Structure 1
Amino acid sequence: MDEELVKRAASVLAAAGANTAKVWGRQLHLGSPPPEPQEAERWWQDRLGDLLADAPVAAAELRELVDQLPALTALAEPAEPPTPAGSPTAVHNIVSGGTTHGPVIQANAISGITITHSGFAGTLPSPESWPTAADLDPIALGVRPTHRIPGPPLPPYVLRDRDQELDAALGQARADGGLVLLLGEPFAGKSRTALAALVRGPAGRRVFAPPRGTDLRGLPALLQGRPERYLIWLDDLDEHLGEGGLEPRLLAQLAALKAVVVATMREDAYDACRAQPGGRVLDLARIVELAREWSPAERERLAGEAARSGDPRLIGAVSSSGPEGAAAYLALGPLLWDEWWRARRADRHPRGHALVRAALDLARCGLTGPLPMDLLLKVHEGYADVTGMERESAEDARAWAVERRYGLLRLLDRARGDTWRAAPILVEAAGRHEELPDVPGPVWGCALEKARSDAAYDYAEIAAKAQVAFQRAADAGDTSALHNLGVLAESLGERDEAERWFRRAAEASEPRSAGRLGRLLAERGEDRAAEPFLEAAAEAGDAEAATLLGKLLRKRAERWFTAGAEQGSAEAAHLLGDLRLGRGEVFGAFSSYLDAARVRYEPVARGMGIVHLLLRENNTAEVWMRRAADLGDECAAEFLRPVIAHTVDAAVEFFEEDAKRGQGLDAANLGVLLEQHDRPDEARPWYLKGYEQGDAYGAFRLAELHKKDGDAAEATIWYRKAADLGHPGAKRALGETDG
């Protein structure tokens, strides 16, 4: 019987052609099959398969021989070891389910017998191990993860407008076999949409999702003779084309087995592949296009599903996703957050991170509208926990922050002009990330200041949020938060509440609160109670506290100098005169100096001389100055030097150098000098320059010039500008009080 099979095989192959017969003869003389039945069967399969490649016309008869292969094992004798299973030429045997090597013989309902050369089929898992569509892990199969929250890794699926068309294409493919391709831009939601469609299909269908680069040529052999219907999932189809990948002949073989290939592809990859030889299989696909931007109907379904499920990711997508689409919003959120968060490291983009954080923190405070870049630059400098900012320039930080990511989203979005806001996708995600620090107090301060001056915001609403944040920080032991609560209460007109917080903070050694409390007490007339708080603040560098403390002490000093003078102290009378002269009280100072002079208190000589100079009594002044100089008063001696006459040009030169540099009050002063010497046209640009530098007097003098010229309307405009900068003379000219 076995010899008869061999003769029949030789006869069949000889009939196929002389060349085939020669090959058969060589194969028979390569050695005898091994003794083990399984290995002997494999040995015969290898040789018959190789021969069949050269003799396709013999396929029908040789198929009959293949069915009788177990009988051939009787010829077995020792031979060289077989090729290891899993080698590059191993394939699954369509007859016994084992592993073969070389070509595979397949039955095809349409064309009879098809021969497929397999590359890596031995590595393909058995279909029994393939998961069903209902058991697929979407993230493992290409769906991008969203932000992590307790519960399912992905939010509920929201039906898309093209789902009906996709379901129809899959239904037709289940009947006829073939390829269904979901085409769209990156982040359109292709993988999630296609996988959801598989789940909606007939239950129990098993799905094979090979890794990129898998040799697929063994699939027809693997599925041959199985009554079940299978799905092949090829996410990013362009990664599964080329050598060993999907091509027209392989697709035809799979279609003959009623297998359905479901694939996704980016539009740019589709265009590129169509121009390549490996892209011919795309001509055979049933294509469904999926838009990235969601339609109004899709957004309505999104809102409905968010309300039903309560999933915070969908709720965020409803409120924050824009033209990029909800699918892109869900997928890009984690990517953008991760890039921004890791950028805080010194070797990355620490200043860029801080710049985005400034916009993000201000949005967390309630300033969700566009913000000027100057404000963001001011705020971002205050993040002490971000190191290495000196390594990155502000220009580089800004360029990094506004760069478009994935062709879609920026970390900072431009609104209009040079105004910006943090990407809504970051703002919405901020509440879910515990590693993000609380908004610092100074940032809240900037937010409150902006809200107070910008009518687009409700100051009371921002203040209420700030109060909650400050209270939480204060409860955690942050003394600066106590101070912030006081400032906030003071801004709302709650003086008693402000004083309570300032006192608590001052007692906790918060110098800023000590200064604030001191001012509140001084305004209430409690000078002595205010002084220790003002002194503590002054010693910590609070200039306003130091100034107020000096004024209070001067007030007390005047009281005691007055008491001393009344008791006959010449020195007290002298010092009292100095205080009064410093306040501009010339006659009050003269009275005090005269009291000291009457008892022959000579140190008062210079003071008397200055008073007489102010009264234009130069001769008398010179007498007093001579006395003071003879006592060794060097200051008085300087008064006795001849006055050097300066020309106008010399005076102009004196003012002009500093005026050009924008220092002090010299621009407007130079204008006055020129105007006094009948050069008003030369004075105007200096007045204007002074005004542009913030000197109200420049605007006031321009108003006066327009008034002299008889241009009342223009004069009023400049009086208004000067008054807005606080100039008393301008307010009087406008009939306004100085308060």
Structure 2
Amino acid sequence: MPGYPALPPYVLRDRDADLVSALSQARSDGGLVLVLGEPFAGKSRTALEGMAEELADFRVYAPARGADLRGLPTLLHGRPERYALWLDDLDGHLGDTDGGLEPRMLAQLTALRVVVLATMREDAYDACRRDDRGRVLDLAQTVELAREWRSAERERLRLNYGADPRLAEAARSAGPEGVPAYLTLSPRLQGEWWRARRADRHPRGHALVRAALDLARCGLTGPLPMDLLLKVHEGYAEVTGMERESAEDARAWAVERRYGLLRLLDRVTGDTWRAAPILVEAAGRHEELPDVPGPVWGCALEAARTDAAYDYGEIAAKARVAFQRAADAGDTSALHNLGLLADSLGEGDEAEHWFRRAAEAGEPQSVGRLGRMLAERGEDRAAEPFLETAAEAGDTEAATLLGKLLRKRAARWLKAGMEGGSGEAAHLFGDLQLGRGDVDDAFDSYLRAVDAGYAPVAASMARVNQIWNDNESATVWLRRAADAGDVWASAVLAEYVRKENHTEPRRVETVDRALDDIHYGAERGRALDATNLGVLLEERDRADEARPWYLKGYELGDAYGAFRLAELHKKEGDKAEAAAWYRKAAALGHPGARRALGEAPQPESSGTEPAG
């Protein structure tokens, strides 16, 4: 840590008194003192501290691993200085034939009152005891040092917090692996994790661990489901090369035990995990580690909202600080995140403030959110431009809401147009009502279109009659719509004819009821009903009775009446008369007549209502 010595202050261990006692005896008599323990138990540091206390006036010889020690007794013989032989990892200095330490050499050194201070791992100790090299271990004063610290040791550690922040971190974060292991391995694990971000190493593994680390930085220090980590880790766009590593390989790398002790991801229970505490503690000192991204904060807030183990308000307060800092740095997405956060806390005015600022900065998601807020409180007209902008940017929800608002406004004005006598408005208003399931109200609106002589209402009238199972009336309207070029009506009419040719004849009372209904409209002067009555009669093979009704429909302004007269003359082979009536129908705008004459259909005009 910058500004602090390489090693933190030494904290007394419970076995220090035993070690000092052994060294004191060896100072008087010479001999071997062995500090024994698991890897990273703090053996070397404890032994060196003991040496500094008890053998401060000794000269120390520290040979390299495997060095030939056979000449050492001769070299030290007769010298007035006192000597200590430092053998860290004693198993690398044992042996009878290659100049290693063995009983005879130890006896020679002891005779010279040389203190041999050594350390050794337990596994190496057990291995050496199984062969001849281990004979010298019988001559040692052994002090065993546990890796996990006892309560008294941790209390002494607590009392030294102020001397070095690394001790405080170790006290908070060191688990069964012990404080020395934490202090030793922390920088190693942090460095390994950080370097793994490179594309040729373990970028996905790095991102997976970072997901757990960032969520912990957000305040989610408890167990995290692997599914959540996998979701979050995909969002680190700056980590390149993740496609080269599978999720399975990334997970295996992240949970692998390092140095036989520590993992980057620690399992809690089941398939839940957390970032190694040493990484979480080191995150605050990491100069290159970016701030937690906004989407990760979003995931943290969502998890905190649904998990009673967390205080949502506390997580939200931390998120607000992070979002505000990012917004001050120019991140416009942070403005949107501030809006979402305020909205989740029920702060409606605050949320609107941030959404509006983000929208002004060009955040499309904020534009849609602001539009929805305005719509929810009834400010439809104010909401529409925001919703339209968001919809054009691909916001499906905004597009849907905008459509609903426009339909609502369209209904208002179409109803006004209908009340003013517009057949087209009555037709469109009826379609809106039918879409809502208001069949009776839709039919009433369609009748007003019929009263206005608006012929394009035919297909809609057919649909209503289908719903009511009045196939006779539906057929008449389908025939009108099909002759005008309606593809749907043509298909349905063809199906009706097919069924009629393969089923029993229609009941007379059904035909009579349809005749009565349409006759009633025709007698009232409805142009469309007059022609429709003719169609129904013609369908019943009563063409002579149909002709005057076609004529009446035409005289009342229905182009379809002229078209049907042309069709009758065509069936009778009177081409000249048929052509004359086609021209009359075409003059009134009937598209079928225009096709019959080989003319292009006339484009609809917003100022006129088609009559055919």
Q: 225-234 or 242-251, which moves further after superposition?
A: 242-251
Cα distance in 2 between the residues matched to 1:221 and 1:435: 55
Partner of residue 418, structure 1: 271
Q: Which amino acid aligns with 1:627?
A: R
Q: Name the residue aligned to 2:250.
A: 397
| Residue 168 of structure 1: aligned partner | 21
Shift of 1:420: 1.5
1:509-536 Cα shifts (integer Å, max 9, x gaps): 1111111111111112222221221122
CA separation in 1, counterparts of 2:390 and 2:244?
35
Q: Which residue of 2 aligns with 1:535?
A: 388
Q: CA RMSD in A?
A: 1.8
Give the % identical residues: 76
**Aligned 8 A contact 2:422 2:452 in 1:** no
Q: From 130, 151, 162, give the equivalent of 1:296.
A: 151
Note the C-alpha offset of 1:202. 4.5
Aligned residue number for residue 324 of structure 1: 177
Question: Are positions 1:264 and 2:123 aligned together?
Answer: no
| Structure 1: stretches of 5+ with no match in the other structure | 1-147, 646-739
CA distance in 2, matches of 1:258, 1:194: 19
Q: For each residue in 1:680-720, what CA deviation from the matched residue of structure 2 results, as whole angstroms up to 9, or x when unmatched?
A: xxxxxxxxxxxxxxxxxxxxxxxxxxxxxxxxxxxxxxxxx
The structural deviation recorded for 1:626 is 1.6
Instruction: Indicate which of 454, 457, 468 corresponds to 1:615.
Output: 468
Among 69, 74, 81, the residue aligned to 1:228: 81
- Greater mean alpha carbon deviation, residues 276-285 or residues 384-393: 276-285
Q: Aligned match of 2:302 in 434, 449, 455?
A: 449
Aligned AA for 1:291?
A
When structure 1 is superposed on structure 2, of 425-434 and 270-279 the one drifting more is 270-279
The answer (yes or no) to whether the contact 2:197–2:203 under 8 Å persists in 1 is yes
The reply to whether residue 191 of structure 1 matches residue 44 of structure 2 is yes
Counterparts of 2:2 and 2:310, CA distance in 1: 32
Within-5 A mapping of 1:631-646: 631-642=484-495
- Asked if 1:248 corresponds to 2:103, the answer is yes
- Structure 1 SS opposite 2:79: coil
Deviation, structure 1 residue 499: 0.7
Report whether the alignment pairs 1:435 with 2:277. Answer: no
**What does residue 626 of structure 1 align with?**
479
- Once the two structures are TM-superposed, the CA of residue 326 in structure 1 deviates from its matched residue by 1.2
Q: Which residue of 2 aligns with 1:483?
A: 336
Whether 1:285 and 2:140 are equivalent positions in the alignment is yes
Letter in 2 for 1:238: D
C-alpha displacement of 1:339: 2.0
Structure 2 residue aligned with 1:273: 128
Q: CA deviation at 1:248?
A: 2.6
User: What residue ranges of structure 2 are gaps of 5+ in the alignment?
Assistant: 500-612
- The 2-side partners of 1:232 and 1:321 are apart by 32
Higher relative contact order (CA 8 A, sep 6+): 2
Which amino acid letter does the alignment assign opposite residue 243 of structure 2? E
Q: Hey, what does 2:216 align to over in structure 1?
A: 363
- Equivalent residues in 2 for 1:55-94, closer than 5 Å: none
What's 1:674 paired with?
Answer: none
Task: Give 2:536's aligned residue.
Answer: none
- Measured in 1, the distance between the counterparts of 2:452 and 2:49 equals 107
* Greater mean alpha carbon deviation, residues 350-359 or residues 203-212: 203-212
In structure 1, how many angstroms separate the alpha carbons of the residues matched to 2:4 and 2:273? Answer: 35
1:469 aligns with 2:322: yes
1:510 matched residue in structure 2:
363
Residue type of the alignment partner of 1:548: L
Deviations 1:115-174 (A, max 9, x none): xxxxxxxxxxxxxxxxxxxxxxxxxxxxxxxxx242111111111111111001101111
The CA distance in 2 between the partners of 1:420 and 1:385, in whole Å, is 24
Alignment equivalent of 1:595, drawn from 448, 454, 479: 448
- C-alpha separation in 2, matches of 1:480 and 1:170: 65
Tell me the CA shift for residue 541 of structure 1: 1.5
Residues 539-618 of structure 1: pairs in structure 2 closer than 5 A: 539-618=392-471
**Residue 218 of structure 1, CA deviation:** 3.3
| Counterpart-to-counterpart distance in 2, 1:317 and 1:369 | 19
Distance in 1 (CA, whole Å) between partners of 2:273 and 2:167 is 25
Equivalent position to 2:12, from 159, 166, 172: 159
Q: Specify the code of the residue in structure 2 equivalent to 1:258.
A: R
8 Å contact from structure 2 (residues 27, 55) kept in 1: no
293-302 or 450-459: bigger deviation? 293-302
2:345 aligned residue: 492
SS of equivalent to 1:502:
helix
Aligned counterparts of 1:246 and 1:540: Cα–Cα separation in 2: 79
Q: Which amino acid aligns with 2:379?
A: E
Shift of 1:628: 0.7
- Tell me which amino acid in the other structure corresponds to 1:248: P
Displacement after TM superposition at 1:223 (Å): 2.6
2: CA distance, partners of 1:357 / 1:612: 65
